Amino acid sequence: MNTNNKKIQLKGLTLPELEEYFVSIGEPKFRGRQVFNWMYNHLAADFSEMGNISKELRQKLSANCELQTLNLVTTQNSPSTGTKKYLFATHDERKIESVVIPEKERNTLCISTQVGCPLDCKFCATGLMGYKRNLSVGEVVDQYLLTAKEHGKKNITNIVYMGMGEPFLNYETTLKSVEIFTHELTKGLSRLRITISTAGIAPRIKDLADCGVRVKLAFSLHSGFEDIRSMIMPINKKYSLKENLEALKYYAKKTKTRITFEYTMLKDINDRNEDIKALTKICSSIPSKINIIPFNSIKHMAPEGISSKLEPTSLTEIHQFADKLRNNNITVMIRETQGDDIAAACGQLAVKIN
Ligand code: SAH
């Protein structure tokens, strides 16, 4: 029983945790399965919807537990692409964003793992807004449940951990949310449709390889040179490119999967001929492909210092760069920019932190 008046948040609990909770309040273990199914499969927002649970127990749960972690504040639609940005408020009045990106045969949900981000990558708006805290499992999961409710669960086909924050600095939470999204009872997504993107927390890359959870891994490379990477991504001073590449090699070997290298093209910084050489060397030693992202403007954040000087490589030059890599037998994709008209494209998510 809950004695201190603070309600227990059930949203975000994994199946074993829910089962343990029900046993602890003197209920049979299978209630955990039932509530799991209601929350994550049927997207129930209230205990009253849980038809196979007695009225008495539902009342008891309402009195002691909570079911929702986020409140929808606003949504914004991109008229040109159909991309939709969601602004959510947390219980402590923090704001986070998620984005649903419609593509030809899929709809991808881009979710956040932190309020802001501590990494301070010079090209990213989220970095410029600062960092407040990690999200809870419930807050990560609710971004899916609340957007799935609006779009229809079947219409969210992919999840990418590419919103605000660094998933590997909120590692346990990220893994628990994957466990919930991919659980057979959730009838949700296959692990192959989930991508975790990291700026390079090398020890966690190895941990992910070792823990047996199989998802797709994307690595924000952005430069094949230590000094340039350290300049635009200060986290590189703590976990060097070398250390990360070793971890990625280990990951690719252990999981027998290909790494996706994300590469945001910055004029005169990472679009030179020597960058092609460096990328070719890296990609030849690790099973991988490159995903080139045109640099999305962060001018809405009124950046200072290096951030204010960054310019995009032109689309023509991006295509030439990609072709040169392809000539070296590297698989290259160029990501279409989606949602920059509503500041919902890669690296544009940012909310004023109080
Ligand atoms: N912290 C994680 C996930 C968030 S960013 C990571 O760094 O991977 C998701 C992707 O968008 C990353 O590859 C990131 O480098 C890229 N990105 C950030 N800012 C961008 C911008 N202004 N334009 C284009 N891509 C950007």
What string of H, E and C letters represents the secondary structure of 216-245? Answer: EEEEECCCCCHHHHHHHCHHHHCCCHHHHH
Confidence of residue 353 (pLDDT cuts 50, 70, 90): low
Range from 115-124, 165-174, 182-191 carrying the lowest mean pLDDT: 182-191
Backbone dihedral angles phi then psi of residue 116, each to the nearest 5 degrees = 75, -160
Confidence of residue 175 (pLDDT cuts 50, 70, 90): very high
Distance CA 116, CA 95 (A): 9
Which candidate, 126, 86, 133, 115, places its Cα nearest to that of 220? 126
Q: Is the CB of 219 under 6 A from ligand 1?
A: no
Confidence of residue 176 (pLDDT cuts 50, 70, 90): very high
Active site annotation includes 20: no
Mean pLDDT score across all residues of the chain: 94
Shortest-distance atom of ligand 1 to CA 117: 1
Shortest-distance atom of ligand 1 to CA 163: 4
Active site annotation includes 19: no
Confidence of residue 2 (pLDDT cuts 50, 70, 90): very low
Is the confidence at residue 5, as pLDDT, over 70?
A: no
Q: Is-contact 125 350, C-beta < 8 A? A: yes
The domains found in the chain, sorted by start residue, are: 8-66 (1.10.150.530), 70-342 (3.20.20.70)
Q: Is the CB of 217 under 6 A from ligand 1?
A: no
Q: Is the CB of 112 under 6 A from ligand 1?
A: no
Pocket test for ligand 1, best of 96, 160, 264 (most atoms within 8 A of CB): 264
Q: Is the CB of 198 under 6 A from ligand 1?
A: yes
Confidence of residue 167 (pLDDT cuts 50, 70, 90): very high
Q: Is the CB of 97 under 6 A from ligand 1?
A: no
Pocket test for ligand 1, best of 108, 109, 223, 293 (most atoms within 8 A of CB): 293
Is the confidence at residue 38, as pLDDT, over 60?
A: yes
Mean pLDDT of 176-196: 93
Mean pLDDT of 155-173: 97
Which residue out of 19, 97, 166, 262 is catalytically annotated?
Answer: 97
Pocket test for ligand 1, best of 119, 219, 220 (most atoms within 8 A of CB): 220
- The one-letter amino acid code at 13 reads L
| Nearest CA, atom 26, ligand 1 | 347
Residue 197: its H or E element: strand 194-198
Q: Is-contact 267 311, C-beta < 8 A? A: yes
Provide the 10 A C-beta neighbour count for residue 30.
10
Q: What is the pLDDT of residue 8?
A: 95
pTM of the full structure: 0.95
